Structure 1
Amino acid sequence: MEDLLNELTAFRKQLAVLENQNIALKIQLAHILQYHFDRSLLDRLEYFHTAFLQLDTRFEALKSELALHQAWLADPDMNTINYDNIRAHQLHIWGKLNTMEADVNKLKSLFSDYLQEHFPAVAQSIL
């Protein structure tokens, strides 16, 4: 069971890294909207804002799954009986984290490219 607990801790750390990256993207967007706002670009900026918020929702859902998983691991009767089920769920979480990481990286890249194209001075100062 210790291996499952160690993996769970690693999952939480990985999720925290992804959340911090998303926060950094939202801060960049807020900086643009506060100091370099151009109404002609509003649609695309709203797209990024929505994408960042959708990531927040996914992070919260995965946090709930991690909390449930933690509860399973904490129950001494459950974890002995259902090790295979708990392990399968952990693999499921691992897959979700990998997908989220790929999605965050893709969004970061799209946003960075967008900043370079439309806000090169901001992109230089922030990135």
Structure 2
Amino acid sequence: MDKLIVATDENGKKLYDNKAIIDLLLGLLHAGHHTPAYTAMWAIVQISQNSHIFQKAKEEQELIMKERPSTQKGLSFTEIKQMKYLMKFTNELLRRHTVAVASFREATANVHING
């Protein structure tokens, strides 16, 4: 928040007034609260309806656990990169079930695809 308060453009003009800073912070708090819950909900729905997804993801996790030292606590970045199937599942989940409640965008130009 301190950075937002003192942020200026190249001419020294403040970038944000108090209302803009409040809006940004509320947006961050809202996004940080709801999107993980929505994502987790859709993941549970998809896994419960498709047991083969759960089984394959579980096998991937068990293989990673077998290869790690018994003294290791928590995930390493290398282990996260090994989760190829889980990453594909997550990407497909996010593609099919948008977790953002609303998207306030407006097209600014017409686009023609394949004629």
The normalised TM-score by structure 2 is 0.37
RCO greater where, 1 or 2, for CA within 8 Å and sep 6 or more?
A: 1
Q: Which has the larger radius of gyration?
A: 2
Give the structure with the larger helix fraction. Answer: 1
The normalised TM-score by structure 1 is 0.34
